[in-house]
């Protein structure tokens, strides 16, 4: 029987190529001849994406993929094949290693079910002709041939059967997380900027002339909000979250709160001296202010500790939130 309903055709495609459902992206995902196949249907439009880390197809976007000879020979219009966008940080660009294909009921009727169901095989032939490998290595063990694919931070992650089973039990993701690399040349300046911004904002509201403008509740919530915002920046820039980066994120939150506290402490000292002597007073230098702050901490810890604790709580909540995209999603 020939079908032209995209939903019915997707069911047949999933069954034939053994694709698995992924809850996070609401798509079916799998490996076919070393090519990642990602298929989903929304509002009657079926979209299939094909990806291989060794294929080179980025420049074909400019020519409507007319170099895909196997597609043209089979009667599949190459103009229906499109490039796939990928995001690095805040920059979006056309992927060099993947392409996409969408089809609705009209297109399905035009090419017929028999040609449709062969599309993964046909595009795999063209991707292989453009450098795609026929197999993938497992990203977890690095030795076995991958037979399945999952998602780690929305990135295709090939797995062998053994590592897939471990991932389903929650065991493989830790090793995968340890294999990632952080571009510290990009991350460290970003952390320095956001730490400085947090310290300035926290110290600003602690200036004597502004303390009355902020309620106690608002002041208590600010470290939590800032810690959450810091981690959101890391997520927004799509930076892999490793153990070292987690430590630095916690350190950044504590540094922001401490620097703001020291600035506020120094400003209060100057304000008290000015009121006592009824004249302008030059405050101590920053090294002296730091020493005085920590010297006074045993007496003022009841005031300072809640803000440091709130910052830690905010960072903990935010980092727990970040664990969702870090988790390896294999169904």
Euclidean distance between CA atoms 78 and 100, whole angstroms: 11
Q: Tally Cβ neighbours within 10 Å of residue 250.
A: 17
The answer to whether 126 and 76 are in contact (CB under 8 A) is no
Q: Where are the domains of the chain?
A: 6-134, 184-326
- For residues 34, 35, 41, 46, the Cα torsion angle rounded to the nearest 10 degrees is -130
63-67 long-range contacts (CB < 8 A, ≥24 apart) are 65/99, 67/126, 67/130
What class is the 6-134 domain? Answer: alpha beta
Closest CA to 125 of 61, 191, 55, 173: 55
Euclidean distance between CA atoms 83 and 60, whole angstroms: 8
pLDDT given for residue 211 in this prediction:
62
pLDDT given for residue 25 in this prediction:
79
pLDDT given for residue 219 in this prediction:
66
pLDDT given for residue 85 in this prediction:
79
Rounded to a whole number of angstroms, the distance between the first and last alpha carbons of the chain is 30
Per-run averaged pLDDT (10 residues), the chain, 331 residues: 75 92 85 93 91 90 91 93 72 81 90 93 95 88 85 78 78 53 82 88 78 62 78 76 79 85 83 77 79 81 73 70 57 54
CB hemisphere CA count around 131 (13 angstroms):
10
Q: Which two tokens stand for residue 308?
A: 């440091």
pLDDT given for residue 318 in this prediction:
65
Q: Tally Cβ neighbours within 10 Å of residue 127.
A: 26
């Amino acid at each position: 029987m020939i079908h032209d309903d995209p939903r019915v055709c997707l069911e047949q495609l999933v069954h034939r190529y053994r694709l698995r459902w992924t809850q996070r992206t609401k798509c079916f995902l799998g490996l076919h001849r070393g090519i990642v196949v990602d298929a989903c249907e929304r509002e009657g439009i079926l979209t299939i994406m094909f990806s291989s880390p060794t294929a080179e197809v980025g420049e074909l976007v400019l020519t409507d993929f007319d170099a895909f000879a196997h597609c043209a020979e089979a009667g599949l219009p190459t103009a229906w094949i499109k490039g796939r966008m990928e995001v690095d940080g805040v920059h979006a660009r056309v992927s060099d290693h993947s392409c996409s294909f969408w089809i609705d009921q009209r297109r399905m009727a035009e090419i017929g079910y028999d040609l449709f169901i062969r599309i993964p095989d046909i595009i795999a032939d063209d991707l292989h002709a453009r450098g795609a490998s026929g197999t993938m290595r497992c990203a977890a063990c690095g030795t076995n041939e991958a037979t399945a694919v999952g998602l780690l931070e929305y990135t295709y992650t090939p797995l062998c059967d053994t590592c897939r089973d471990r991932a389903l039990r929650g065991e493989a993701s830790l090793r995968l997380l340890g294999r990632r690399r952080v571009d510290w040349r990009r991350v460290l300046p970003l952390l320095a900027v956001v730490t400085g911004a947090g310290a300035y904002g926290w110290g600003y509201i602690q200036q004597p002339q502004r303390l009355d403008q902020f309620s106690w509740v608002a002041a208590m919530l600010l470290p939590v909000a800032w810690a959450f915002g810091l981690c959101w920046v890391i997520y927004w820039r799509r930076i892999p979250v490793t153990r070292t980066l987690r430590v630095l994120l916690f350190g950044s939150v504590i540094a922001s709160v401490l620097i703001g506290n020291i600035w506020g402490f120094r400003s209060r000292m100057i304000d008290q001296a000015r009121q006592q002597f009824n004249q302008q007073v030059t405050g101590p230098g920053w090294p002296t202010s730091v020493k005085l702050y920590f010297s006074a901490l045993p007496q003022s810890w009841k005031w300072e500790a809640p803000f440091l604790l709130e910052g830690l709580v905010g960072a903990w909540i935010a980092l727990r939130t970040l664990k969702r995209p870090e988790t390896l999603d294999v169904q």
